[in-house]
A and B are shown apart, each in its own frame.
Chain A
Amino acid sequence: MNRIETRDDRDELLDESATLWRITAAPVIWAGHFLLCYGGAAIWCAKLGGGIGGLRLSILGLTLAALAAIAWNGWRGLRASEGVAPPELSRPEHRHRFLGRAAFLLSVISAVGVAYVALPALFIASCR
């Protein structure tokens, strides 16, 4: 007989909060990178104008930082999704593996998104 565990949502969320964070972390990094690129370019072009060498360098740096963060996040997710062969679906280990795997896949897609968004800075050399 299993007695029901008397712990509330907060404990359970805490348990998985690391993985839950990892699921959303990569897309959030993508969103932050995107907004900084777009907002940075808009303000640069409106307020400074002219050459955008500094802007392009900043975007490069930002992109490398974002990709590094996503890579680390994806690697952690991958680690969580590895391990013994999948036990039956209703075991907590399976949920843990699922969340790790989802985090990894979302990291891949976010990395592609970040790289895409950075490409314009490679090719476009002015505000016009």
Chain B
Amino acid sequence: MTQRAPEGLYPPTEEMLAEPVAPEVAAAQERRLRAVWQTRTGLGYWSSVNNSEIGKWYSLTCFAFMLCAGVLALLMRVQLAWPGIQFLDADRFNQFFTMHGSAMMFLFAVPLFEAMAILLLPAFLGARDMPFPRLSAFGYWCFLIGGIFVLGSILFDAAPNSGWFMYPPLATEAEGPGSDIWLLGLSFIEVASIAAAVELIVGVLKCRPPGMRIHMMPLYSWYVLVVGGMILFAFPPLIAGDLLFELERALDWPFFDHTRGGDPIFWQHLFWIFGHPEVYIVFLPSIAIAAMVVPTVAQRPILGYSWIVLSAVGTGFLSFGLWVHHMFTTGLPAISLAFFSAASEAVVIPTGIQIFVFLATLMVGRVTMSLPMLWIAGGLAVFTAGGLTGVMLAIAPFDWQVHDTYFVVAHLHYTLFGGMILPVMAGVYYFYPFFTKRMLSERLGRWAFWLIFGGFNLCFLPMHLTGLLGMPRRVFSYPGDLGWNWLNLISTVGAFVIAAGFLIFTVDLLRPGKPRLASRNPWKAGTLEWTDTVEGEDWGVRSIPYVTSRYPLWDQPEIVARMDAGRYYLPDAEEGLRETIITSVIDARPVQVQRVTGDAWITLAAAAFTGGCFILPTFHLYGPAVVAGLIAVGCILYWLWTSTARVPEKPMKDVGLGLRLPTYAAGPAAVGWWAMWITMLGDATAFASIVFGFFFYWTARADFLPPGAEHAVPGLVALAAAALALAWAATLGARRLNRAGRQGQAVGAVIAGMVLAIGGGGALALSVAGLAPAAHVYPAVVCALVIWTGAHVAVGVVMQAYCLAGLVFGKIDRDHDADLWNVTLYWHFHVLTVLVTAAVIGVAPHLL
């Protein structure tokens, strides 16, 4: 076996770094790098996968969706401006508030985090690109297609109209395709979110520049890490919920139907296990922008780096213990409510800590009230107000009083404007010169700020009172004698003032002729993204630096000149391949050169057909949907086969400064393995949500299990578990045999694994063939578990077939077995899924 370990010198000495690079060598390197990383022009531009292009498209798309959702809000405010008017009818109003909430959350707030992180993270880390550029592109195209589909439905009067949290039975019983559009369209986008989370987590852990140990990362990276982790645990319950919901809509399986053993409260649990952490998923990355802006404005390092890390990690955890505070009026036992009330109060502590850290940093620094700082200051003020009403709402009796009134509307807009919109605007003003090399107008920016900030308070401050006076949310009109008239009119005026502010911002953002950047670091910041030249090259960084400080531009005076000269790592692209350096998780020692994927149309095709697979079922076109799904799988397999884990032309490569790194990695050393691990963690969470459903029904319903119920056939369940466990063992065996150089036996093991898996999957399906899932929730939840497990068997078999082809055609051999490692990892998780499913459907019903 080839030994693949880094060789040579590390860390570099000062003498090595001080040695100049010959100008003609540097010029030739630049020529090659430019050719490799060049963004295509013309139609080919749209096949780009470079993080800067994807990031820009992603951000602009989010912004466009935000403007659409904002227009919906304006139209609603017109309808509410005066009592009893008929500007919008009730149904259209319902569609508008549903789409306003859904679009702002799913098409703006969460994706904008992904967009900005994809755009900025590689620059913060001095990396050339994200580890999986095509995955970013795939995620973006999925988002665009899904977003247009969901938002477009409003033009056909077919939009969902049951509120953005889709409570059954209202939403399950709703006529027309609205609920299906919401479920399938947004599930599609949630998948894209998870893809982005995987990409970003691996990016933070493995793509840092050499020397940037884990306690030296820019604070933004800590937030990305926490938020990525939160997405993995928050989104899957909603995806599982969407699956159950759609099974109820399409096949009448009664998960949320009270008359047949189901429970609508179960949806509320799944939705808010997602929905509350989601608020923090939106908030943390925005406050992360503040964590980047504040030190720059104060011109000093952040005060209390570890306190920020504490508050990010602490908030991330605690935010999962709050979800029931959205359900205080559902009649849960008082003691259960009280647990969530207490946790909701506790989360204020870590959230508050970070705000105090920012204030302390500003107090000891030399603050200039630059435009980004103005937005941050406005954001902190508004967020604090929203946080205080949050503390009030966390007290259950107060919530009972104002539940579903405009008080809640005011509260949530204060938290989201203060915690997300205003800090993100700060980020746009702050980072705009980085990604466009031009400055936004200071004067227009101040106008936009005061209009948005002032308009916001004009619109939402009175709403607290409107709510306390009893006006319920989501009513399309109201009688004129309840004392709400003036308050509503003021709110409407405020909404239009906000809109004027956004109009000015949009004009400034899109107008041509903005002044070009004079120097590369206009804010005199200390982090790596500002090493980018004023011309803005496509290669990201000219050479990947060796970092010894949290603020390298402040503490390592030579770093910019040396990066520009190509003195550091990977200054060249001799092989004509896009490359970046992979480093170790804790100490960021260089371990590998990763060849990243380049521009391609296949990602777009894969996204389009994945879209078809999710969108066509909305119109009950199940046949074409299956075909689209199969083509999508084909596209993804082609993409993986042709561009990932390729056998490199040479095992080691000189990366500069006397260091040689391997060009291939397998198992835990490979980024793909980490991505699989992280993906499967999310997958396991979704599965756990369905299992939770089984026990939820058992707790909540006296008629679960129903007397005399049909069960899954125990013998077949046992057979399926045994066969699938053997399939796992065969897959693991294939990996070991291949490593031992016994390719022939490895091929045999993979084939045996496939046969066993198919047989096991068949036995599992047969074991529930006699059940009638539409009759009662018990057989329905059993069948849902079988569908989930069966789909994973199918994916597992495709993966085994991929490895089989790899072994036969030489993509996988003794020295290059990354694919086998990843597939085995999948099967580790899968065999656990199988065993849990077998226990729940085969054993638990006989014990409970």
Q: Could you list which residues of chain A lie within 8 angstroms of chain B, going by C-beta atoms?
A: 1-6, 8-10, 12-13, 15-16, 20, 23, 27-28, 30-31, 34, 37-38, 41-43, 45-47, 52, 55, 88-90, 92, 94-95, 98-99, 101-102, 105-106, 109-110, 112-113, 116-121, 123-124, 126-128
Expressed in whole angstroms, the Cα–Cα distance for A31 and B309 within the complex equals 19
B333 at the interface (CB under 8 A from A): yes
Contact of B314 with A by CB under 8 A: yes
Bound Cα distance from A8 to B4, whole angstroms: 10
Give the total number of A-B pairs whose CB atoms are below 8 A apart.
Answer: 159
Question: Closest 10 CB pairs between A and B?
Answer: A120-B338, A98-B215, A4-B10, A27-B317, A105-B310, A116-B342, A6-B5, A90-B548, A116-B346, A45-B333
Instruction: Determine whether the beta carbon of A2 is less than 8 Å from that of B343.
Output: no
Whether the pair A47, B699 counts as a contact (CB closer than 8 A) is: yes
Q: Find out whether the CB atom of A42 lies under 8 angstroms from the CB atom of B333.
A: yes
- Is there contact, CB below 8 Å, between A4 and B314? no
Among B122-130, B142-150, B581-589, B621-629, the stretch in contact with A: B581-589
19 contacts between A and B (CB under 8 A): A2-B9, A2-B13, A12-B584, A12-B586, A16-B586, A20-B586, A31-B320, A38-B336, A42-B699, A45-B335, A92-B587, A94-B213, A102-B309, A116-B342, A117-B339, A117-B346, A119-B338, A119-B342, A124-B338
Residues of B within 8 A of A42 (CB): 332-333, 336, 699
B306 lies within 8 A of A128 (CB): no
Residue from A43, A102, A116 within 8 A of B343 (CB atoms): A116
Contact of B310 among A10, A45, A102, A118 (CB under 8 A): A102
Chain A residues with CB under 8 Å of B211's CB are 90
CB-based contact A98/B306 at 8 Å: yes
Report chain A residues within 8 Å CB of B306: 98, 101-102, 105
A38 in contact with B339 given A10-B668, A124-B334 (CB within 8 Å): yes
A9 and B669 within 8 A (CB): yes
Query: Are A95 and B313 touching (Cβ within 8 A)?
Result: no
Residues of A within 8 A of B338 (CB): 119-120, 123-124
- Pair B336/A41 contact, Cβ less than 8 Å: yes
A12–B5 CB distance below 8 A: no
B324 CB to nearest A CB, Å: 8
For B342, what are the chain A residues with a Cβ–Cβ distance below 8 Å? Answer: 116-120
Within 8 Å CB of B548, what residues of A? 88-90
**In the complex, what residue of chain B is closest to A109 when comparing beta carbons?**
B314
- Bound state CA distance, A38 and B267, in angstroms? 18
Main secondary structure of the interface of A (DSSP, over half): helix
Q: Are A113 and B13 in contact (CB under 8 A)?
A: no
Provide the residues of chain A in CB contact with B13, threshold 8 Å: 1-2
Measured CB to CB, the closest approach of chain A to B213, in angstroms, equals 5
1/0 per residue, CB under 8 A from A, across B33-67: the answer is 00000000000000000000000000000000000
Q: How far is the CB of A121 from chain B (nearest CB, A)?
A: 7
Residue in B closest to A38 when the chains form the complex, CB atoms: B339
Nearest CB to that of B582 among chain A residues?
A9
Query: Smallest Cβ distance from B344 to chain A, in angstroms?
Result: 9
CB nearest neighbor in A for B661: A4
Query: Which residues in B have some Cβ–Cβ distance to A below 8 Å?
Result: 5-11, 13, 211, 213-216, 305-307, 309-310, 313-314, 317-318, 320-321, 324, 332-336, 338-343, 345-346, 349-350, 548-550, 584-587, 589-591, 659, 668-669, 699-700
A76 to chain B, nearest CB (A): 16
Please name all residues of chain B whose beta carbon is closer than 8 Å to the beta carbon of A34 when the two chains form the complex.
321, 339, 343
Extra contacts besides A30-B321, A41-B339 (6): CB < 8 Å: A12-B589, A42-B333, A55-B335, A90-B216, A113-B318, A123-B338
Cα distance A98–B324 in the bound complex, in angstroms? 35
CA distance A99 to B350 in the complex (A): 18
Whether the pair B343, A113 counts as a contact (CB closer than 8 A) is yes
A112 to B589, CA, bound (A): 37
Contact of A106 with B7 in the complex, beta carbons under 8 Å: no
A104 to B654 alpha-carbon distance, docked (Å): 42
Do residues A2 and B321 form an inter-chain contact, with CB atoms below 8 A?
no
In angstroms, Cα B585 to Cα A112, docked, is: 30
Task: List, in ascending order, chain B residues with CB within 8 A of A12's CB.
Answer: 584-587, 589
Contacts of A8 in B (CB 8 A): 5, 584, 591, 668-669
| Contact B215–A99 (Cβ < 8 Å) | yes
The interface residues of chain A lying within 8 Å CB-to-CB of B549 are 89-90
Please judge, given known A-B contacts A4-B659, A105-B307, whether A116 and B345 are in contact too, CB under 8 Å: yes
Residues of chain A lying within 8 A (CB to CB) of residue B321: 30-31, 34, 113, 117
* Complex CA–CA separation, A41 to B307 (angstroms): 34
Least Cβ distance of A65 to chain B in Å? Answer: 17
Question: Considering residues A3, A31, A106, A113, which has the most beta carbons from chain B within 10 angstroms of its beta carbon?
Answer: A113
Q: Is the CB of A9 within 8 A of B585?
A: yes
A10 to B317, CA, bound (A): 26
Which B residues lie within 8 Å of A46 (CB)?
A: 699-700
A120 to B335, CA, bound (A): 6
Q: Which residue of B lies closest to A100 (CB)?
A: B306
A23 touching B550, Cβ below 8 Å: no
Q: Which of A4, A13, A94, A102 has the most CB of B within 10 A?
A: A4
| Pairwise interchain contact A106-B5, C-beta atoms closer than 8 A | no
Residues in B neighbouring A106, C-beta threshold 8 A: 310, 313-314
* B333 lies within 8 A of A112 (CB): no
In the bound complex, how far is the Cα of B550 from the Cα of A20, in angstroms? Answer: 20
B16 and chain A: residue at smallest CB distance:
A1
Tell me whether B213 and A95 are in contact (CB under 8 A): yes
What B residues does A47 contact at CB under 8 A?
699
Is the pair B9, A3 in contact by a Cβ cutoff of 8 Å? yes
- Name A52's closest neighbour in chain B (CB-CB): B335
A43 to B306, CA, bound (A): 39
